[in-house]
Chains A and B, each alone.
Chain A
Amino acid sequence: MQDDERDILGVMDSMDTAVSPLLSLQDLRKSYGAIEAARGVSFDIFPNEVVAMVGDNGAGKSTIVKMLSGVVKPDGGQLFWQGKPFHPSGPDAVRDAGIETMFQDLALVNDVDAPGNLFMGQEPMKRWLGFLPILDRKKMRLETERLLDQIKIKLQSVDRPVRLMSGGQRQAIAIARILLSAKAQLMIMDEPTAALGIQEQAKVLNVIRNLHAQGLSILVISHNLEHVFSIANRIVVVQGGRIAASVATDEVSQQDVVQLIMGGRLQ
């Protein structure tokens, strides 16, 4: 990312009062039985901002993602989307609002091929002989090839069940899926580079940069601080179900962030 671009965003950050958040989390809570996975999570994501969420295994990052994407209903707290209270009825409502999510477990349907997975739940239809509605398989395949091309990850053929694909290829499909939406304003990606080789990781980081350049906001989770520092405007540190810190990337060092993740404080 260019330095001047980051400067502008730095200014925007400091003008909280002028720019209202795209998505605002206020005191979100979620328990699984006795485990309190989220204990009052609050932070904002601003328009055209890349926010990285970091934290140890089990810190609660994915739980936060699931609450944001409508998969899990928070036990308490509030969500505001574009300034308005937001009570999504489920994942489809969140998607309709303009939030796309790539889940850590990828949410792939193993017996279905790549196009089927990309379009799952929003398959395009066409009319056969002008009257009988049928799935538009050709459109699904072409669009899949186009999107995979866009993230520049090769797939030998798209028309086999994804259970026969490698971890990286599966991850590529999960990433391509969130690029499908034309109206998305916020992309959430839970460890998008986890299963990828070095080259593919770089490609995915480029995808995130491109989305940012197109004006979207991105919430990305990663354990790789190298990546985080190369793409994020802001870093949110999660620890034990709480937000331990929210810092502008250019105001901290990697060492500082490691400290925060491990439960220390910034001097």
Chain B
Amino acid sequence: MMSLKSKANDTGMAKQKGSQASLLDKINPLIIVIVFLYIGITLLSDRFLDIGNQMNILRQVAVYLIIALGMTFVIASRGIDLSVGSNLGLCAMVLGTLIEAGTPVAIAMVLVVGLGTLIGAFNGLVITRFRINPLIVTLGMLVALRGATHFFMGGSIIRMPESLRFIGQGFIGFVPVPAIIALTATAFAYWLFFHTRFGRHTVSIGSNEEACQVLGIHVNRHKVAVYAFQGACVGLAAAIIVGRLNAASPSLGNLYELHIIAAVVLGGTALYGGVGTIGGTLLGILTIGVLENGMVLIGADFHLQRVLLGFLLIFAVAYQEHRRRVIDTRAFSRIKEAEE
């Protein structure tokens, strides 16, 4: 069901027809990037291709991927959510606190997904009701949520129950449980994005909000739902990361937003909205995950990784702009030829 081909638009089905459509237009270039990364890192480190290390990459990227799924909807709708990292930290601390107080793991998880959803919905409500730029609203929330987490829940909480550790560290066969959860979530997000009205209206709002309003789509309600979905993804990710670390700390999730936005944009979802792809987001997350894993294996400096991530974000946006122009120009000339 997952298609890794990058259509110019996952939901808009802007298929590039005609035999002259170049392969690059059809296949997400990240596939090529990943192949080159694999070759390059394998040459530099003999541990890279170990099945253990490969599964380790999957486990590492699971949390990012789940949050990035929500971010794909947010960005495709021409929004942005900078507060996901802080939201993750808060959800993780609340989860830890609930469990420490004796709440059964299942109930605590449901509550935390609910909390994440509420925070997302709050973002959406502020953005739509008061017509404030999402960049500002979620930047404010990034700071406020982090502050609140440190203020109300000081130190780290350690030693989580077995069932939560299974979610974060367990294996089914040789596949890490977090990877299974993340891939299931990816399949769900793909369906939601590509095959339902919800997904279609999400990109449509990103492309032309006024037209959607005029055509009877409840734009504000829809946007709140999109941010709420993002929050739900964060809540789920919080359960996995607390299980994986066997601990919760108030600074958890710091700078995650950069990582995730870079991956989503790298994958092909457009920052100006109207275009989005779940398959691309999966590839974007994998690219960054492989890159980071490789740098650790090679022994590159942690701070150097940050430098790379920052430049990657800038490059991703520049590249998407370029790609959109080139593809549009080519499509135009093809259509002109066909019509003459």
Contacts and interface: CB of A to CB of B under 8 A. Distances in A.
Interface residue SS majority, chain A: loop
Interface stretch (A7-15, A88-96, A144-152): A88-96
Interface in B155-203: 191, 195-197, 200-201, 203
Given A110-B274, A120-B215, A121-B216, A161 B195 contact: no
A56 interface: no
Nearest to A110: B207
A193 B286 CA distance: 50
Contacts of A107: 208, 210-211, 214-215
Interface residue SS majority, chain B: helix
A116 B210 CA distance: 16
A132 interface: yes
A108 B12 CA distance: 13
A183 B203 CA distance: 28
Interface string B306-320: 000000000000000
Interface size class on chain A is 20 to 34
B41 to A, nearest CB: 36
B128 to A, nearest CB: 15
Contacts of A71: 213-214
B68 to A, nearest CB: 21
A111 B212 CA distance: 12
A159 B15 contact: yes
A265 interface: no
Contacts of A207: none
B326 to A, nearest CB: 14
Interface stretch (A45-53, A133-141, A235-243): A133-141
Given A90-B216, A160-B331, A164-B332, A109 B211 contact: yes
B200 to A, nearest CB: 6
Given A156-B338, A159-B17, A111 B12 contact: yes
A181 B212 CA distance: 18
Interface of B: 8-9, 11-17, 191, 195-197, 200-201, 203-204, 206-208, 210-218, 274-275, 328, 331-332, 335, 338-339
